[in-house]
Structure 1
Amino acid sequence: MKYRNIRSIREDNDITQQQMAKLLNVSQNTYSQYETGKIEWTATALIKIADYFDVSVDYLLDRKKNKN
């Protein structure tokens, strides 16, 4: 499943896919596949992204409009 808030928050903060891939310890190609919905996000990856951007996992998953 593709979650638009993940890509949006990355782009809003001028972070590249390569930088996110490094944060998650995956290849840029794998990160791209996460972002496009070709492979499912892991809980660990979602938590790392939420912590990095100081937002809730629910926000990343489009379950809440509020970032916290």
Structure 2
Amino acid sequence: MERYPRIRDLREDRDLTQAQVGEAIHIPQRTYAYYESGQRMIPPHVLCALADFYDVSVDYLLGRTKNKR
């Protein structure tokens, strides 16, 4: 499965819990945990919500660029 280390790094850099991020983007904590660990692929609408929440690009979240914008 695909891993998404940047979403974990961004969350930890802001001292947030998985539950807090899940609540902010309107998904359950368990679902967010599956995305973060790579047990589930992140759907496009959730990627967009995460990018908006962290103020970064989707490409940055996916590791396609080092540029946050």
Structures share fold, TM-score greater than 0.5: yes
* RMSD, aligned CA: 0.9
1:21 CA drift (Å): 1.0
Show the counterpart of 2:14: 13
Which residue identity does 1:44 align to in structure 2? H
TM-score normalised by L of structure 1: 0.92
**1:23 corresponds to 2:24:** yes
Q: Percent identity?
A: 46
1:23 CA drift (Å): 1.9
Unmatched runs of 5 consecutive residues or more in structure 2 = none
- Look up the SS of the partner of 1:19 in the other structure: helix
Runs of 4 or more off by more than 4 Å in structure 1? none
Count of aligned positions: 68
Show the counterpart of 1:67: 68
Deviations 1:10-68 (A, max 9, x none): 11011110011112222111110110011110111111111111110000000001111
Which residue identity does 1:60 align to in structure 2? L
TM-score normalised by L of structure 2: 0.91
Separation in structure 2 between the aligned mates of residue 45 and residue 15 of structure 1, nearest angstrom: 17
Which residue identity does 1:58 align to in structure 2? D
Unmatched runs of 5 consecutive residues or more in structure 1 = none
